[in-house]
Amino acid sequence: DQQVKQNSPSLSVQEGRISILNCDYTNSMFDYFLWYKKYPAEGPTFLISISSIKDKNEDGRFTVFLNKSAKHLSLHIVPSQPGDSAVYFCAASVQGAQKLVFGQGTRLTINP
């Protein structure tokens, strides 16, 4: 039962353009969402999060959008840079629960 899904295994974007990574979830009890970035041979690094009481959170080049009715969130990276090439995971949690539930990841490649 995959409660958090990232349906695009990979995404290729030109440097300077916008990267949009998508994530869908099925559990309506999720109330906190996070994006992590992972380089090879490193652990996931926290990028940005959003609570279910908001529909947008922005941090520099990174913006996360949450559409609760569609159970969908997206991460926008503008402008995309070569250093953004990595695997991106979305994760969700239920208030009061301890675990993060992760999607399968999307490999983002930024082309010069």
Name the site residues for other proteins (rule: CB under 8 A).
4, 6, 31-32, 34, 36, 41-46, 49, 51, 89, 91, 93-105
CB 44 → other proteins: shortest distance, Å? 5
Burial category of 103 from C-beta neighbours within 10 Å (exposed 0-12, middle 13-18, buried 19 and up): buried
Least distance (Å) between residue 77 CB and other proteins: 19
Q: Which of 11, 100 has the CB closer to other proteins? A: 100
